[in-house]
Structure 1
């Protein structure tokens, strides 16, 4: 009467199957399932207890017991089980039958010998464990007894007919005639015919090898035909299926033979797997070398193996093994095989944690490989957890990190908040362009600003772009001046007609007589394009709204940016290399050597000849071509890199490849003119006139700065010890000295600063984002800062003069 209250153990079992059986394997039916309440996948082997089948039920229960008690990496992993009145359940890790796996991989053309070699290695290792360590005979080795997990690892199952090598009689009855073809000719009973205890299982291993390469075994006599068995495996296979059972090798010896020189199991894939199995006991240096070499091998490894075997080991090595930056390259390579959801779950938490690391090698490799994971980062994650750590790179004493930090802004800009992009980032850009001593860094800051300008809000663009590109055109380094010109051309739609006439052309026209030919060429093209814009509006004033329609346009969101012009989209999708070429052109574009003398302005004008004269009025077709050429120029050119800078000391770097980038810049403290809205029309006109005149007068002085700026020694980024394995205090000192200005160019820096002050430029590190003192207008604040700067320079000169002492009569002063 209590049966009404009894509970069904199957319904309470914490696992459930989904759908019908995938395969029937002797007594068992294989189902795929999951743990209830979760999505964790499992495999469920089900045996239905039938009446009058006591012998088979005992065999099934014996298999249940064996699988539950045996634990080995190469034997099917037992998770849970259920012994009910009408059925037996065995829950294991998610697996599929080897026969199904081989058919699927072969149909897709993805089955490789190295994958098969590792699978056979695992099965032989499991047999060695059973025979040599446990004294057990498997008695059922065939394709139906082998399963494959998600990582492609082969697992030995089918323990139904297992027995002890000594003392267990009679042998379990199989009851399936189709299994008779796997029995050796001498029979299965150990000791019969002077056999070894492993002889029968090694015969069956030979049958398994034949089936792996040739398909299902029709009869025992088919073993005589080698079929597709590889030549390197043939001698070992013949030993397994030999008629003499005494010749069949022990599983351990079989592995040793196959791992010999030119053996079937002697390959890089097996060596990688064996190292991963023992990685926890390896020395730190061995682990470092392994991860360094791993990246180049991943392309030849199966995808599932990389996702489910390599990736967990990489994550574990980072979390507990202090692997450092060496895991980044293989980690991101494996990440390409993951879905977006898997990437968010497994890779992104590691990336976020890595950005907070103080390890320079890790930081620079993260920045270099940002394009591989940027699409998986949400805006909230970037602004709250990534950007605060990335901006520290702008202040790093290592110039290569500062360089990569600037370049990474192309990828981060679409995801930055208004405050981080328009305020915080612009402050760092202003300081870098004004005071960073490395040429490529200051030049790339100008490039990056132009490429992310579409993401800036309208007020920031109006306040910053003209000032920033104007400063770049005054830089003593020729590629930077070219970058400033191209910046104007690429952002031409953000300038009003008045800005083009009163500000931009006054900056571009002096560059048409620049000593560098490339700068002159770009300046002429830019001048023609802006004049064409002015002429278009002059001839038809009704076109003014169309010409100025983008001036107050809102900043682009990431989706809109991809649909924008090609140069703007490049900032999001086109950063394929973060170290690239130097400037293309003739050696004249390089800064002059210390021993060279700069030509006076008049001599330079005479030398330029017709190039310095005003060009003929361009035709409409030529204007369009110039505009298109400038846009293409901005799109196609790559970054400069510290790795390309000559480290020859006093000798100038030779321009080789790109149009913008190389080393040897001077330091210019000026940045931005005052906005016209802060002064009246008359004051604005006088400022523009004064600016143009002062620029022409100070041009010859600025050329001196260009020559002196090239004297700084720059160490190649490739020479740095990024991994930190042999770091020394000497290297740290070298990093620090790169951020100090050269003493030989101190007078030139002072001259440059005086010229900037005379030209009416603000000498602070920021643009108009510099915090103003309360109660002072912007013009008063600029005037006050210029006066303070002049006083500082005069004080320094007085100190140097006092240190030299009075001059004696008859003694000539040598500068």
Structure 2
């Protein structure tokens, strides 16, 4: 009851399934107010439009009723979803899915820092308008102020006060200011749209041009709220070259002669080939795509994401990918690279909530392709995973990779140790990792033995001094004698990089003799490395000896 009193339009019946909360600031003047709301049964968030009757004239009241009727009867993916409505003595109420106006500060902040225009959102809005036109409707108020944005970032078409069939352009133009949202100092449709040569939907087409001017101009100016004021006389300068001609045709439309300008616009290469449109169009129809189409799409998706806005990747693409990897027959390994590419752009909290559970789950997958992807991507996401998950869930699953029969998996597991060890518990490192590394020096794959030596050098600083010295001594001794020249070379280079871990006695009596044997190595690169290392190690030992005197 307290919430309803804030609205100021009296009591709603107790049977109404929604509560009305605080009013939301909107960047335009309008007889509809926007409020936050909740569904009583489960507390889910909704939006509630409230239109008080007190100051409405008969035409405005009729338009408000029309807005409700149209919102409830129109069914399209990109039209705002109406959940319920009610008319009481003092007001009209329309409940919709949770949204915010495109021109609001909240939506502007969501896109802050992005230089890319919201092309997919524009595509969604135009798609909804095209649907109306093909169904015989004129929207009447189409433009940025009629676009609503969901929490995920989908654009939805709303504001149906003047939407009708068999509309009259002159009537629409006359009623726009009285029935539609008015944005201070924004351009209004020109009077020539009511001339005989202009189509009935001319006002909508001009609104589509205004939307394009806003989407591209606001992105360029980094001012995406209603504070950005489009200048229709110079807006074409902000548009891509391929949209300038259709933009001019939308601003001053001629007879259509059976054409559908909005549908034609969406078929232009600019939209059809745009990365955001390609990504979202494919994901929205994933359930009807063939296996071959999916394979090709997911293979190229990481590259497509390079040019997609961050907000689109995190708000729209990632949820679709997380769902896609659950599809029966859909290989998680295909989807995973794109998920991880987007995942590293998330905040710590978002990653832990949305991606980390999947990562932990997939590390236990028997699918080698999945595990290989995870292991090779570990360096990019290790900082986003918490210690308990790494120690209790992920690393225990990775241990099997050291003895996997597949060479690339063993090698990727070894390389991943460089990222794992700084985050593992000391007991795990000393009790398991050290033994696993030593065992790897017997691996039949020469590249794995080489990487084990390099890994040992890289993680030595994370080990207790005594353990580090013992481990390096064992690993390097084996490396000096390895039958694979790059492994012998890696052992020499690793000794140089970790020489500070040894005392003068250890260098002189245990390590340098092994280097001396390599002076006569049949591989010239190893022999040259041994000569260089011996000279450097002599200097190191000399300094330690002189410091004792």
Between 357-366 and 231-240, the greater mean CA deviation after superposition: 231-240
CA distance in 2, matches of 1:306, 1:359: 26
Compute the TM-score of the two structures, normalised by the length of structure 1: 0.55
Is the 2:21–2:35 contact (alpha carbons within 8 Å) kept by the matching residues of 1? no
Q: 1:516 to 1:242 in 2, by over 3 A?
A: closer
Residue 154 in structure 1 maps to residue 128 in structure 2: no
CA distance in 2, matches of 1:459, 1:243: 82
- The answer for the alignment partner of 1:476 in structure 2 is 483
Q: 1:335 to 1:108 in 2, by over 3 A?
A: closer
The within-5 A match list for 1:223-302 is 227-228=236-237, 232-233=242-243, 236=246, 245=255, 247=257, 249-250=259-260, 254-256=262-264, 259=267, 267-302=274-309
Residue 453 in structure 1 maps to residue 460 in structure 2: yes
- The answer for the alignment partner of 2:316 in structure 1 is 309
SS in 2 for 1:385: helix
Q: Which residue of the other structure, out of 348, 359, 364, is the alignment partner of 2:356?
A: 348
Deviation at 1:414?
0.9
Is the 1:13–1:82 contact (alpha carbons within 8 Å) kept by the matching residues of 2? no
- The answer for the alignment partner of 2:205 in structure 1 is 206
Q: 1:97 to 1:257 in 2, by over 3 A?
A: closer
- The answer for the alignment partner of 1:512 in structure 2 is 519
- The answer for the alignment partner of 1:381 in structure 2 is 389
Residue 76 in structure 1 maps to residue 77 in structure 2: no
CA distance in 2, matches of 1:529, 1:224: 72
Residue 92 in structure 1 maps to residue 92 in structure 2: no
* Unaligned residue ranges in structure 1 (runs of 5+): 1-6, 217-221, 543-815
CA distance in 2, matches of 1:490, 1:224: 65
* Unaligned residue ranges in structure 2 (runs of 5+): 1-9, 183-187, 218-230
Residue 437 in structure 1 maps to residue 430 in structure 2: no
Compute the TM-score of the two structures, normalised by the length of structure 2: 0.79
Higher relative contact order (CA 8 A, sep 6+): 1
Q: Which residue of the other structure, out of 24, 30, 44, is the alignment partner of 2:28?
A: 24
Q: 1:36 to 1:521 in 2, by over 3 A?
A: farther
Deviation at 1:479?
2.5
- The answer for the alignment partner of 1:405 in structure 2 is 413
- The answer for the alignment partner of 1:332 in structure 2 is 340
CA distance in 2, matches of 1:177, 1:86: 20
Q: 1:231 to 1:526 in 2, by over 3 A?
A: closer
Residue deviations 1:273-313 (CA, integer Å, cap 9, x gap): 32222111111221121111121111212221111221111
The within-5 A match list for 1:734-813 is none
The within-5 A match list for 1:54-65 is 55-65=59-69
Is the 2:363–2:371 contact (alpha carbons within 8 Å) kept by the matching residues of 1? yes
CA distance in 1, matches of 2:506, 2:240: 76
Residue deviations 1:460-512 (CA, integer Å, cap 9, x gap): 33443212211211223333223223333333333344433432333333333
Q: 1:477 to 1:237 in 2, by over 3 A?
A: closer
CA distance in 1, matches of 2:109, 2:423: 42
SS in 2 for 1:319: coil
- The answer for the alignment partner of 2:500 in structure 1 is 493
- The answer for the alignment partner of 1:48 in structure 2 is 52
- The answer for the alignment partner of 1:357 in structure 2 is 365
CA distance in 2, matches of 1:465, 1:357: 33
CA RMSD, 1 decimal: 4.1
- The answer for the alignment partner of 1:395 in structure 2 is 403
Q: 1:452 to 1:96 in 2, by over 3 A?
A: same
Deviation at 1:315?
0.7
Deviation at 1:373?
0.8
Count of aligned pairs:
511
